[in-house]
Amino acid sequence: MERIPMTAEGYKSLEEEIRFLKSVERPRIIKAIAEAREHGDLSENAEYHAAKEQQGLNESRVLELEDKISRAEVIDVSKLSGSTVKFGATVTLIDEDTEDEVKYQIVGEIEADVKKGRVSITSPIARALISKSVGDSVEVNTPGGGKSYEILKIEFK
């Protein structure tokens, strides 16, 4: 069974999503199915079929999340330290071409969200940064072409 690395924050968000799906979505869908059944003939009842489809999607998402939680390897980032980039590190970079500064935290695949500055450990930028130190330059192959960054700061928070 393959372990899934994630931060404590990522683990908590999975638990919250499961709780929402079970305690809010599941009862709402059950109610929608019951209301659709009251309309009579189920073979031509679009509301019933839509509600059953929602139920199937909801239950499969619950199972998927429960599987991920059962295989989670929670890594407490606050207990990590060091001078090189590794899982959980928040890395401040400067684009060597544009001088733009960016900050990314390296997290597990399921909690990655570039808009929030969280990149997956399997992403090209994270793979390029792993084991590097402050002052190192890294080349990253992106869909838009090659990028060159310099590491300004490495934090574990």
Nearest to 91, CA basis, from 155, 7, 8: 155
Phi, psi of 131 (to 5 degrees): 75, 5
pLDDT at 35 over 80: yes
- How would residue 141 be classed by pLDDT, with cut points 50, 70 and 90? confident
- Residue 4 DSSP class: E
- How would residue 85 be classed by pLDDT, with cut points 50, 70 and 90? very high
Cα–Cα dist 101/109, whole Å: 23
Q: Could you tell me which residue, 1 or 106, shows the higher pLDDT?
A: 106
